[in-house]
Structure 1
Amino acid sequence: MAQLLDAAASVFCKVGYTAASTNAIAREAGVSPGTLYQFFPNKEAIAVELGERLTHGMREAVGQVLDEANTALPLAEMMDAVIDPLIEFNCQNPVSLALIHGSDVPGRIVEAHDALHAALLARVEVVIAHYAPGLPAEDRVRTAQMAFALFKAGLELVLAHEGAEREAYVAEVKASLYRYLAPIAEAGAGAESVPH
C-alpha cells in the first residue's frame, strides 16, 4: 500500500490530480492495475488516503513547532525553529500542493485541508498575541492571515527551486516574514495600534 501511495504522490506531482490515472499510478508503482484495485477502488480513494496521511503529518509538524518552547524564543529564533521544519515537511511532501491545487480533488481532502488551515491560523494568532499582546484582536487576525499568506507564497518559490537557490528562497521567506512581523511585535508590545 505504501508503494502505491508513493507512486500516486509521484504521478500527482508530475501531471496533477486531474490528469492522473490509476493505470499511470500502477505503472509508476511497478504493479498491475489489478494489484492496485486490490487496495484502492479508484483514483479518488488513493488521493483521500494520501491526503489523510499528509494532513496528519502536517498537523503533527505544526503541533511540534508552534509550541510554547518555540514561542518563548526571540522572534528571529522562533521563526527559524518554526519555518525550517514546515518547509522541510513540504519539501519532503510536494504532493500536498499538487492535491490542494487540483480542480476536481475529492471534497474530503479539501475539507481536511481547510480544517488544518483554520487550526494553523488560530495557532499563528496565539503566537502573534504572545509577541504583540497589545495588538487588537481584529489586527491580530489580519496579521495572522497575512503572515500565513506570505509563507504560502514563499513556499511555492522554495519548492520550485533546489540546492543553493532553494536555500536562498528560504532565507527570503524568513526575511520577509521577519520584516513584516518585527514592527508589529514592537508596536503591539504596548497598547498602541500598528500604523498602516
Structure 2
Amino acid sequence: MPEKTEKPGTEKPAGEAARTAEERPRRRQARGERRIAQLLEAAAAVFCTTGYTAASTNAIAREAGVSPGTLYQFFPNKEAIAIELGSRLMHEMRESYDEVLAPIDPATTSIDEVIAGTVDRFIAFNCRHPAFFALMHGPDIPGRIAEEHDALHTTLAARVETILAPFAPDAPAPAVTRTARMCVGIYKAGLELILAHEGAEREAYVQELKDALLRYLRPLVGSS
C-alpha cells in the first residue's frame, strides 16, 4: 500500500507544529486552573452557609454546577478543598499585612490613623472573603489549616508589636508584646460582631472597634 503523503502546501512549518504542541498543555492547564477556582468559590459559599463540618463534596459540586466525579478529578475530599482554599486566603491576608503593617513614624502618623487604616483594611478583606472567618474559626477545621492560622496569628501580633513600639519608646518590651497580643484579641472579638451585621449597623460596629482599640492603647502611647 502506498504511503500517505501530505498534499503539497499543507505541511506545517516545524516551528509552528512545535508551538501548537506546546500550547495544548497550556490550554489544558488553564482550563484546570479555572475549574479549580470555580470549585474553591463554590466551597467558600458552602462553608459560609453550612460551616466546614456540615459541608460535603456533593454540596460543593452542586454549588459549582459540576458532577461529583468532576470535583474528584481535582480534589480527593473536602479536607483537601478546605486546605487549598485556606492556603490561598491566608496568602492574600499575608500580602495585606505586608502592605498595611509597614513600619510607621509616629512623628508623621497618629495612632488614630494607624488604627483606622489597619482596621479598615482587615475588615474589608474579611467582608470580601467571609469564608476566611468561617473556615479559620470553625470547631472542626483540618489540622494543617489550624497550624497555618496559628502561624498567621503569631505573625500578625509580631507586626502589631513592631508598629506599637515607636509610639511607646519608654515602655518595657514585655508590656508592648502583651499590648500587641491584646489588640489582636480585641480585633478578633470585634470582627465576629462586625461580620454578623450589615450596612449601617456594621459600620457602627467597625467604629466601636476602632474606639475600643484607641481607648485601650491611649495609656500606653499617650497622645501620639
Shift in alpha-carbon separation, 1:171–1:54, aligned structure 2, 3 A: same
Q: What is the TM-score with the length of structure 1 in the denominator?
A: 0.91
SS in 2 for 1:126: helix
Q: Which residue in the other structure is 2:123 paired with?
A: 87
Q: Which residue in the other structure is 2:197 paired with?
A: 161
SS in 2 for 1:36: helix
SS in 2 for 1:19: coil
CA distance in 1, matches of 2:168, 2:61: 51
Q: Which residue in the other structure is 2:213 paired with?
A: 177
SS in 1 for 2:39: helix
Q: Which residue in the other structure is 2:163 paired with?
A: 127
Q: Which residue in the other structure is 1:109 paired with?
A: 145
Q: Which residue in the other structure is 1:58 paired with?
A: 93
Tell me the alpha carbon deviations over residues 126-148 of structure 1, each in whole angstroms, 9 at most, x when there is no partner.
11111111111111111111111
Is residue 2:102 matched to residue 1:67? yes
Q: Which residue in the other structure is 2:74 paired with?
A: 39
Q: Which moved more, 1:177-186 or 1:99-108?
A: 99-108
Is residue 2:55 matched to residue 1:16? no
Q: Is the 8 A contact 2:105 2:166 kept in 1?
A: no
Report the CA distance between 1:164 and its aligned residue. Answer: 0.6
What 5-or-longer segments of structure 2 have no aligned partner?
1-35
SS in 2 for 1:39: coil
SS in 1 for 2:53: helix
Shift in alpha-carbon separation, 1:70–1:2, aligned structure 2, 3 A: farther
Q: What is the TM-score with the length of structure 2 in the denominator?
A: 0.80
Q: Is the 8 A contact 1:154 1:169 kept in 2?
A: yes
Q: Is the 8 A contact 1:147 1:177 kept in 2?
A: yes
Q: Is the 8 A contact 2:164 2:176 kept in 1?
A: yes
CA distance in 2, matches of 1:137, 1:3: 46
Q: Is the 8 A contact 1:132 1:185 kept in 2?
A: yes
Shift in alpha-carbon separation, 1:2–1:57, aligned structure 2, 3 A: same
Tell me the alpha carbon deviations over residues 52-99 of structure 1, each in whole angstroms, 9 at most, x when there is no partner.
001101000111100125865111111111110111001111111211
Shift in alpha-carbon separation, 1:35–1:5, aligned structure 2, 3 A: same
Identity across matched positions, percent? 61
How many residue pairs align between the two structures? 188
Q: Which residue in the other structure is 1:27 paired with?
A: 62
Report the CA distance between 1:184 and its aligned residue. Answer: 1.1
Task: Indicate which of 134, 139, 157 corresponds to 1:98.
Answer: 134
Shift in alpha-carbon separation, 1:151–1:35, aligned structure 2, 3 A: same
Q: Compare the two structures and name the one with the higher helix fraction.
A: 1
For 2:177, give the aligned amino acid.
Answer: V
What 5-or-longer segments of structure 1 have no aligned partner?
190-196
